[in-house]
Structure formats: C-alpha cells, structure tokens
Structure 1
C-alpha cells in the first residue's frame, strides 16, 4: 500500500461517499504504477456494500476519468479486471466494452502507487441505498403471534416491537413455545387475566425468556365429586334392568 496514493485518494472529491470508499479501496490495493486487480466481490466485502453497487461506482469513476479498466480473459473465462488509477487530473480513456463478471475471491495485489495532484469532480448526487424491507415471513409471523397472544391491546405498537427483533425461524419457535406455556400459567389466568402484560411490553422485555415453573392451573370445573356418588342408592331394581323410586 502506498501512503502517498492513499492520501491523494482521500483528498479527491468524487461527489458520493460510497464512490469515495471504492476509490480509497482501489488505492489501498494499487501498485506503485497505480494498478490493481481486486475482484468486484472483494471490493464489496471490504466496503460492506453490494457487488452491483461496486460496479455502478466503478463505472462512474471511469466516466469521470479517475480510473480506466483493462478487461482480461483466459480463453472462455473472464479474469479480474486491471484497474489503472489516474489521480493526476488527466482524463482516462476506457478500454474495452461493458463490465465483465468476475468470479469471487480473485487475487488482489498489495503494494502502492503514486500520482500527482488529485482531481476534483463536481458531480454531487445523494446516496440512495435501498431500505431493508420486512420479509413476508416476518409479517406472517407477527400475524400468527397476535392471533395467539391472549391480551390484544395496542396492536400497532406490538408490531413495531416485533419488527425490532432479529427474527429467525428458531426464535419464532421459541417465542411460540414460551407463549403457549405462559398462557396457561397461574400468573396469567388469575383474576380474569388482568395481570397479562401488553404484547409490546412482553416483546420489548424478551419475556419469552421468563421462567414460569410448574404454575399451570388444573382443568377448571364448576362441579366436583360427581364421580364419587352412588346414583343407585334408594332405588328399586326392575326386571327389565331399569330402576324405580
């Protein structure tokens, strides 16, 4: 890695923070001649962005003259592109055609490179990173949870609390199992269920991890002792098997 080239890359204004990050990563891998050949996937992993986003910013850097790509093939196989950094203010002529698809894990070259004065781009555009969307599985999971939860209060708040969880199939199964156990506990059944926490409180407090113990109530009945009574006492048996008073 060349500290001189890294400093020039840091001082270069490209008009987009992610594009700047990609340029700095290329400078980090560049040789003394400003050449490097990391794969798109390696750049994406190092910058913590998607591979398609890397390719977009590489093309923009090429359009504005900060680099040019040299496309390489070995027979029918694509090899990693060689990137030539041009941070000296001169326009770079792009070689070849469209971006090639490179296999992940291509070898990168350590070392550094040097260039002259940085060039400034005046193309400023906002960063538009896609917002993560809740999956269909998470939506259906909350619907099932809400159907099972015995105290249906503040559904919207409960759904917000649900969405904050890093939901996985294993966690969903754990929540459902704990809910089934706690719903039959003495604490939840006593006093008409008035001590059942709101679903929002239950989720935010990770109450599915609570210990309930053996506090389940026995099956409830309004009458007891009927199975111990002698219903034939005081009756006279008839010949046909019936009884008379």
Structure 2
C-alpha cells in the first residue's frame, strides 16, 4: 500500500461553481472531496471526517451529499459484506471521474489507501512519491516552452486612446475646435470629438458649417454672450442651420482670400 498524502489542490467544475441551487457549503464540500480523491477519482471519507473538515454537523453533511448526488455532481457506490449485507465502505466519485462505472477494487490490495488517513487541515502533507515529482517536473518543462496566448476580453492593457481626438478627419476637427474655442466657448472637447465622429462631416458640409459659424460668432446675441452652445451641442443639434441676427457693425472680409470660418 503506497503512502497516502493530501492532494495539493481541489477542483470545482464550472457547472458546480455556477449552480444557484447548490449552497456555498455544498461547493466547499465538493472541493474537499476532490482534494481527497485519488488517481481513480474516488474517496471514502466518513461523514464525521467531512463534518470536522468543514466545521458542519453530520446531518448537514448528509444533506449536502444528497444534494450533490441528486444534481449528478457526485456518484456514491456502497460496498457491503457478503455475510451480513452491512455497509463495509462508501466510495464517492467526483472530480474528473464522476461517471466512472467500474466498481472500486476490494480487499487490502486497493491502490488507494483510505481517505481517513489524510492529514487534517493545517498540518503539512508528506512529500509525494518520487514518481509524481518527476512527472510534475516534466510537465512544467513542457509548459515553459508554450508561448503565452494573447489576452481575450477582460480589462484592456497598454496605452489608452485619447478621447479628445476624433477618428474622423482629425485635422479638420482641430481647426474647427480651435476656431470655436477662440470665438465661442471651449468646454468639453471630448464631447465635441464624440459628436464630430457621430456626424462625420464631409468637406462640403464643413465649408457650410464654417460659413454659418463665422456669421453666428459675429451676431449680436453671441457678441453679448447669449445663447452660445457647447461645441458638442452645436454639432449634435445642427446649429449651423440657425439664422443669426446681423451684427451691428459688420466686419470686413478677412485678408488672404479666406472669407469664412476655418481652413
């Protein structure tokens, strides 16, 4: 009979973990069972052992075991004596082999020692056999040669995109923003960039917007600081279509051939 040691980890399948019908204590019980299961996928702890491990009553352990069995997450096989038909040992299948059909071996030549011999929580487990250490070392060496996979979903890493610069025609937006900031108001550049991307104006519309904006910034109301919208509102609501009141003292055309707005 080989030396018994507690597994270094337990396993909870996603189906068990996300089952709303299983309470947290039942999921923790499954974890304990999987950590006790040997290489054949089963263990045989008594209810007293599980109750002490989880700080629960034996009645609560029985209820949780029945729940896990009813949901199909564990399978229980009972071995009885031939003479009296009394329960000799109870095997609980879980982990990677919940549906294994072959019965556990009988007699003292069982390859898995009783789970009752597992060291209690808080005590250091004996070292695993040398064969297991060699297998683990080989597995680790192979994993080191596997290139990491690129991240899929989740939190993004790296440099964040500048939300104040639109993706659509950023050069023309920069000229529009500089003109609007200088002659009207300069709050919420990010909102203006988002509105610009949503509008996606072509060159003809930009020229129309430029002529209208130049007339509006020279209007009487805008000169008095009345009714000047944010740039994002001006873009979202197509405010270039507004007809402004004529200025009190019209300004002469700009020099250099540019008669309106921005380049």
- Structure 2 length normalisation: TM-score? 0.32
Tell me which structure has the larger Cα radius of gyration.
2
- Structure 1 length normalisation: TM-score? 0.34
Higher relative contact order (CA 8 A, sep 6+): 1
